[in-house]
Amino acid sequence: MGIFYTHIDIAFNLLMILLVVVVLFREIKHIPWKLWQEPGVFSAWCASLIVLTLVWRMRVHVQADMHLHLLGVAMLALMFGRTLASFGAALAVIAYTGEYGGLWLNLGTNIMLLGIFPCFLSDLILGKTQQYLPQHMFVYLFGNGFFGAFFVNAATGLFAITTHCLLLPANPVSSDAFAYMLLLAWGEAFLVGFLITIFVVYKPAWVFTFDDQIYLRGK
């Protein structure tokens, strides 16, 4: 859903690059080094970035430089938290741009669309569910793993398509793209809910946002 192959305004691109650099620089101090150093976690994070890049390539063409595909970042944010997911998605965008011949000037815009925006939105939803909903394992799995993932994917898709329309008015997007994107987001929400449940049970070290002290202690 990024804009990889169409030239957009240079000033806007430079602004996005600057904004992305500032955000990622501020996120460095929030990296959970202790959790990241647990056995197997770094390898899982690296593998997730490879999978993310490949998932973006499995896409459905809509029109020139407009494709629909699974997003994957909601899953990444639930597994490794906002900070590592933001850096991971940024690296995936860089890898995708280099591997598939994207425009390097669009890097900032694509990192914002496919990385920073969904990661921060997922973190916001996680915080609100912890604040306003019962602290229970099933609230986490359904509230964040399913409904939260759907909201993140749908909001990111709408944001990406709207950005495409605003930055490339000469290439208007069909209204059907919004409907198909929401259907895709709904399907991905089931997948995220299924996978996050498996990881919480069998690989809890990979799910940074699931805290035993919050969701299991005393239940």
User: Whole-angstrom Cα distance, residue 121 to residue 195?
Assistant: 20
Q: Quick: pLDDT tens for 64-113.
A: 777 888 899 999 999 999 999 999 999 999 999 999 988 999 999 999 99
**Which residues, in sequence order, are bridge partners of residue 68?**
60
User: Whole-angstrom Cα distance, residue 161 to residue 113?
Assistant: 10
**Which residues, in sequence order, are bridge partners of residue 66?**
63
Q: Quick: pLDDT tens for 118-166.
A: 999 999 999 999 888 888 888 899 888 899 999 999 999 999 888 888 8
Output the CA angle 86-88-91, nearest 5 degrees: 110
User: Whole-angstrom Cα distance, residue 118 to residue 151?
Assistant: 10
* Lowest mean pLDDT across 14-18, 178-182, 212-216: 212-216
- In this model, does residue 202 exceed pLDDT 70? yes
